[in-house]
Structure 1
Amino acid sequence: MLFRLTSLSLTNMDVLLRVLLSLSTLAGIHSITTVSQVSVRVGGSITIPCLYESQYINHVKYLCKGSTWNFCSDAIKTNQHNTGKFSISDDKQRKIFTVTINHLTKEDTDYWCAVEINGGGDEGTYFKLSVTTKTPSLDKTNQEITGSTGRPIAINCPNSNSGEMKWCRLGGSCLTKSGSIHETGFTISASVAGVFTVTMSELKTESSGWYLCVKGDLQMPVHITANNNSKDLVLPQSVPVDLNAYIIPLSLLIFIVLVTVFIWFMLKRHKQTKKAASAMTAAEEEITYSTVTHKRNTSSQSSPAESAVDVVYSSVIPMKQQHVPMVEANDENVTYSTLA
Structure 2
Amino acid sequence: CSNKSGNKILYLHFDSLIIFHSITTISKVSVTAGKSVSIPCLYDSRYMNYVKYLCEGYYWNYCNYVVKTNKPDRSGKYSISDDKNQKIFTVTINQLTNKNTDYWCVVEINGGSDHGESFQLSVSSGKNSGGMKWCRLGRNCVTKSSGSIDGTTVTIHTTELNVFTVTMSGLKPEDSGWYWYIQIPVHLTVTEKLINSKYCKRS
TM value normalised by structure 2: 0.85
1:213-232 correspondence runs (5 A): 213-214=181-182, 219-232=183-196
Q: Tell me how far 1:196 sits from its aligned partner.
A: 3.1
From 32, 39, 61, give the equivalent of 1:48: 39
Q: Which structure: larger Rg?
A: 1
Report how many aligned residue pairs link the two structures: 194
Q: Tell me how far 1:190 sits from its aligned partner.
A: 2.1
Tell me the residue number matched to 2:52: 61
Give the partner amino acid of 1:173. Answer: N
**SS of match in other structure, 1:88:** strand
Unmatched 5+ stretches in structure 2 = 197-203
Identical amino acids, percent of aligned pairs: 55
CA distance in 2, matches of 1:40, 1:51: 21
Tell me the residue number matched to 2:139: 172
TM value normalised by structure 1: 0.52
CA distance in 1, matches of 2:62, 2:153: 44
Give the partner amino acid of 1:229. Answer: K
1:142-291 correspondence runs (5 A): 160-161=129-130, 164-177=131-144, 178-214=146-182, 219-232=183-196
Q: Tell me how far 1:120 sits from its aligned partner.
A: 1.0
Unmatched 5+ stretches in structure 1 = 8-15, 138-159, 233-340
CA offsets per residue over residues 1-46 of structure 1, 9 Å max, x none?
x962567xxxxxxxx99x74538969x7521000111111111100
From 103, 106, 116, give the equivalent of 1:111: 103
Tell me the residue number matched to 1:89: 81
CA offsets per residue over residues 72-108 of structure 1, 9 Å max, x none?
0001000113431111000111000000001111211
The answer to whether the Cα contact below 8 Å between 2:180 and 2:186 also exists between their aligned partners in 1 is: yes
- For the structure 1 residues 73 and 194, does the alpha-carbon distance in structure 2 shift closer, same or farther, using more than 3 Å as the test? same
Structure with a larger share of its residues in helix: 1
Tell me the residue number matched to 2:200: none
CA offsets per residue over residues 204-232 of structure 1, 9 Å max, x none?
21121100113xxxx11100112333234
The answer to whether the Cα contact below 8 Å between 1:112 and 1:127 also exists between their aligned partners in 2 is: yes
Tell me the residue number matched to 1:4: 3
**SS of match in other structure, 1:103:** coil
**SS of match in other structure, 1:55:** helix
The answer to whether the Cα contact below 8 Å between 1:6 and 1:70 also exists between their aligned partners in 2 is: no
The answer to whether the Cα contact below 8 Å between 1:182 and 1:206 also exists between their aligned partners in 2 is: no
CA distance in 2, matches of 1:130, 1:25: 18
